[in-house]
């Protein structure tokens, strides 16, 4: 287990993404994935109120509801770290105090729990004063409904401003961030990482496997049946294929999966605490579960690739 900086949360080195629950993963597969993850040492589960409102006939809350129905009968809530988010659900847009309060209560009901371990501002809200947003989060923490807060998809200046306002006003501050970062998406390293490092915040990156491209299932000339296939078109080029070749070689040497090697690189990057990756069935979960160690030379090879 890893101690998440600025908190007393002990988290597994992989965070299980819940964005597929109730979407590409039905109830049975979702519950099987959750159970196998926990039975094999995982304890960190990430979701959001808006998952998966993009699906046909969906309104949001589907993922939280599945997690809640799985969680309630287990009786081991304190051993798990549950993260969810507010601000992007169609009927709960923004970070106003009123919206945060209502969204939190609804998430707690769907998750069937009394508290949220890590509650994210899912995106910035330029229309709401930062003091109001942090004040609302502060109240939820005082009430015991939230333990810690984090920021997702913020710019560096806005994240820094939020941290400074929290300090000046004596309000709760963000302890971590969640942003788009993987071997093929490297903007984070220059845009946000310096701010996180300066403030001793942890990064919990999403799309750690580049929407599935870094699992190795995409190959030149091969057609993949996936709802995410359109999102990886930009990776199917010389750069992407070269990186996959390097991952293949290292995976063979380590006797592990391509996914595990890609996540190992991400896990070893400055400020990163634990990458987030999702699985819609047990087969996919078993590919992302291994935690492997890469040498400095191997890490550099992937960085340059």
- With contact defined as beta carbons under 8 Å apart, do 52 and 22 qualify? yes
- With contact defined as beta carbons under 8 Å apart, do 255 and 272 qualify? no
Cα 204 from Cα 181, distance rounded (Å) = 9
Strands 10-11 and 2-3: antiparallel
Neighbouring CB atoms inside 10 A of 259's CB total 25
Q: Among all chains, which residue has been given the structure tokens 């808006």? A: 50
Q: What percentage of the chain's residues is helix, strand, coil (to nearest 5)?
A: 45, 15, 40
Neighbouring CB atoms inside 10 A of 207's CB total 23
Name beta bridge partners: 88: 93
Does the annotation count 119 as an active-site position? no
In angstroms, the Cα distances linking 213 to 69, 105, 183, 269, 273 are 31, 36, 10, 20, 22
Name beta bridge partners: 173: none
Q: Annotated catalytic sites, by residue?
A: 51
């Amino acid at each position: 287990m890893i101690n998440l900086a600025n908190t007393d949360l002990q988290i597994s080195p992989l965070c299980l993404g819940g964005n597929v629950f109730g979407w590409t993963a039905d109830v049975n597969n979702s519950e099987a994935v959750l159970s196998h993850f926990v039975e094999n040492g995982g304890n960190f589960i990430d979701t959001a109120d808006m998952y998966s409102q993009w699906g046909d006939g969906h309104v949001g809350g589907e993922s939280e509801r599945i997690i809640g129905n799985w969680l309630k009968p287990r009786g081991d809530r304190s051993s798990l770290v549950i993260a969810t988010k507010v601000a992007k659900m169609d009927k709960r847009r923004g970070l106003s105090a009123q919206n945060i309060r209502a969204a939190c209560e609804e998430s707690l009901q769907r998750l069937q729990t009394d508290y949220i371990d890590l509650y994210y501002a899912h995106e910035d809200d330029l229309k709401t004063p930062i003091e109001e947003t942090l004040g609302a989060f502060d109240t939820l923490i005082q009430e015991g409904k939230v333990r810690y807060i984090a920021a997702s998809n913020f710019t560096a200046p806005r994240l820094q401003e939020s941290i400074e306002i929290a300090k000046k006003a004596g309000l709760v501050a963000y302890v971590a961030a969640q942003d788009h970062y993987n071997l093929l998406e490297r903007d984070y390293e220059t845009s946000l990482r310096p701010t996180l490092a300066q403030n001793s915040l942890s990064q919990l990156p999403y799309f750690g496997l580049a929407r599935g491209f870094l699992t190795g299932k995409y190959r030149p000339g091969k057609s993949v049946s996936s709802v995410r296939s359109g999102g990886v078109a930009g990776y199917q080029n010389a750069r992407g294929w070269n990186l996959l070749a390097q991952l293949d070689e290292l995976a063979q040497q380590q006797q592990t999966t391509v996914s595990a090697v890609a996540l190992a690189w991400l896990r070893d990057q400055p400020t990163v605490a634990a990458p987030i990756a999702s699985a819609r069935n047990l087969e996919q979960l078993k590919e992302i579960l291994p935690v492997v160690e890469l040498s400095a030379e191997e890490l550099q090879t992937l960085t340059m690739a």
